[in-house]
Amino acid sequence: MSVALATQLREGTKKSHTMAENTGFVSCFLKGVVDKSIYRKLIADLYFVYSAMEDEISRLSNERHPVVSLIGYEELNRRETLQKDLGFYFGQDWLELITVSSSAKAYADRIRHIAKTMPELLVGHHYTRYIGDLSGGQILKRIAKKAMNIKGEDGLRFYEFDQISDQKEFKLKYSKTLDSLPIDQKMADSIIEEANRAFQYNMDMFQELEGNLIAVIGKLLFSFLTKRSRVGSTEVS
């Protein structure tokens, strides 16, 4: 039995999607407030999340899982692009330099847990991350490139889907795949619930990064005000 999962996922996560977009970190990002030191922390966190996702989906696809194997589109994989970006921001020894935040670790742990206990729920995480990246990636790439004054494409490979020539056509294919999954309505409801949980994990990551961003902005503001105060003290009245 199959259900119309694509529409249900879209409608069932609308509120969570809006909440995620309204977090302080994402709001700042969309307004062009992007600090390179914070952005590379985001890339590092995503590396751990996508590594968990792609490890588990690859394993389950190889095992021919009746649901997960159907969504395992390798052209969506992000780990390799994240590795390139991490090399750009941290250098050749990036793997030894990056650390996972507590929120990203909880996110990755959840992915690995459900992969072993109820793999079908991975569909909710897969939809939330990959389709979100595919849909808004080019906008975010332009914002990040301008805000961090990056020349060329290095450091922004995460947003590139080189193996997908027509994103609109691919998303239609993906929706048809979701609708054809051999699940019942009870499982569809569980997948939607897990997709909302995925949004919450993303928001937790954003909120942790937001705290770091506020600290950076605070230091810059303090430095600016201190410098201004020193200049003012040398002025002749």
pLDDT digits (tens, 9 = 90+) for 86-100: 999 999 999 999 999
How many whole angstroms separate alpha carbon 183 and alpha carbon 82?
A: 32
How many whole angstroms separate alpha carbon 167 and alpha carbon 172?
A: 9
How many whole angstroms separate alpha carbon 73 and alpha carbon 135?
A: 16
How many whole angstroms separate alpha carbon 89 and alpha carbon 140?
A: 17
In the chain, where the domains are located: 5-232
pLDDT for residue 218 is more than 60: no
How many whole angstroms separate alpha carbon 121 and alpha carbon 189?
A: 10
Percent of the chain with pLDDT over 90: 74
Token pair, residue 131, equals 């389709």
Asked whether 126 and 195 are in contact (CB, 8 A), the reply is no
How many whole angstroms separate alpha carbon 159 and alpha carbon 155?
A: 10
SS3 38: helix
CATH code, residues 5-232: 1.20.910.10
The pTM score is 0.88
pLDDT at 189: 98
pLDDT at 219: 42
